[in-house]
Each structure stands twice: as C-alpha cells, then as structure tokens.
Amino acid sequence: MLLTVHGEPVWAEDMPDATSPATTLATFAGGCFWCIEAPFEGVAGVRSVTSGYTGGTTVNPSYEEVSAGRTGHAEAVQIVYDPTQISYEDLLEVFWRNINPTQAEGQFADHGSQYRTAIFYHTEAQRQAAEASKASLERMKVFDRPIVTAILPAEPFYPAEEYHQDYAKKNALRYTLYKEGSGRAGFIASTWSSVGRICPLRPPRRTTSPERQ
C-alpha cells in the first residue's frame, strides 16, 4: 500500500514497523483524529498510532485543505499492530465504542465529509471481520437509526502534521475540553457503557514455532 511520509510516497511494506512479519496495519476514520488516536494508544499489541488523512484525491494534503473539505479525505488513524498480541476484532471493538456510527457526514460537533466514519480494510480477512462486526451491531439494535459507517478498501494514507500527533498527550486539557464539549464523551458514556461485546472473541494469531532440525 502506498503511503506518504514527509511528502514522499512510501510503500507500507518499506516502513520499518510494517516490515516485521509480526505486524500489520489497520485504518479507521472516526471523526476528529485526536479522539480516535487516543483510545488506541497504550493498548497492548498496538505498536504505533498515526493521525492522518485518507480516502481523498489530493496527494499529501494539508490540514487546512482537508478541514475545508476540498480534498475528499477523511481524518483517520493508521495503526501498526502485532496480531500475535491483539486481534483485528479487538481493534474493531475499540473503534465502534468511540464513535456514533449512525451520524452521516460528520461526528458530534464536527460536520462535513472529512469527519465521516469508515473502516478501511487492508486484507480480505479484515473486510470480512469489519462486515461481521457491523452486522453484529445492527442485530444488537443499539440504535434506532441505520448504521452508516462505510467499509472500504484502504487507500493512500498521508500522516498529518506533527502537531496533530499524540495530541491528547501533548495537550491533555485542551483535548479533554474538546472531547467533552463536542458531545463525544457524553455519548460514549451514555450509549456504550451498557452494550455488550460487538465482535466475537478471537484469540490473537499464534506464531508458528520453527521445526527442529
């Protein structure tokens, strides 16, 4: 998959974290990337979380271009994770529980297609897991409106500017005020706290021990 780092196109397979056979990628759009990046950081098995832009037409867009809705991109996060420590289903569980999947063209106080929700799958197995999780959530009837979160093939991902990375850690008070003021924190507390697990429990992938010679 083609990525861009510091304005230069890079294939995911050539990135240091992605070259390890024990790591793979997951990409989610859930509105403001500050509020999607933070829940994944510190999760066991997650190696890195990068805020950025995907799903648009402009190469290496800026925050100003994306936030103005001129490029077609969505704010998103790309996760490098170790599937021997955490399953993709566990990542999906974190994602669903931090969004309002019934809100089209925005999330909470942020409106526009750049804040849409989507799961960008990198493999057929990820697509199937994402579709199954969405169907499970629909069967649970948590919401009285349709779930509009899209499930789409991964597209080029462009890391956002450095000041957006690890925003919750670098600007804890502003992040908390924003998350509460936007309505996201209240929605998560009132909606998801009583909802059981969405995705089936799936143990992390086991590594195969080499045969003895």
* Residue 21: predicted pLDDT: 58
Instruction: Give CA–CA dist 53/62, Å, rounded.
Output: 9
Q: What are phi and psi of 204, to 5 degrees?
A: -55, 155
Tens digit of each residue's pLDDT (9 = 90 or more) over 96-134: 999 999 999 999 999 999 999 999 999 999 999 999 999
Tens digit of each residue's pLDDT (9 = 90 or more) over 131-182: 999 999 999 999 999 999 999 999 999 999 999 999 999 999 999 999 999 9
Give the mean pLDDT of the chain: 89
Amino acid letter for position 95: F
Amino acid letter for position 172: A
- Long-range contacts made by residues 63-68, C-beta under 8 angstroms, separation at least 24? 63/160, 63/161, 63/164, 66/114, 67/114
Burial-class residue 119 by CB neighbours within 10 Å (0-12, 13-18, 19+). Answer: buried
Tens digit of each residue's pLDDT (9 = 90 or more) over 38-53: 999 989 999 999 999 9
* Residue 83: predicted pLDDT: 95
* Residue 35 three-state SS: helix
pLDDT at 6 over 60: no
* Residue 201: predicted pLDDT: 76
By mean pLDDT, which of 21-30, 70-79, 87-96, 107-116 is the weakest?
21-30
User: How is residue 205 written in tokens?
Assistant: 């992938």
Instruction: Give CA–CA dist 209/159, Å, rounded.
Output: 35
Respond yes or no: is residue 35 known to be catalytic: no
Asked if 4 and 61 touch (Cβ cutoff 8 Å), the reply is no
* Residue 212: predicted pLDDT: 35
Instruction: Give CA–CA dist 137/74, Å, rounded.
Output: 23
Catalytic one among 32, 80, 86, 130? Answer: 32
Domain ranges of the chain: 2-191
As a CATH number, domain 2-191 is 3.30.1060.10
* Residue 158 three-state SS: strand
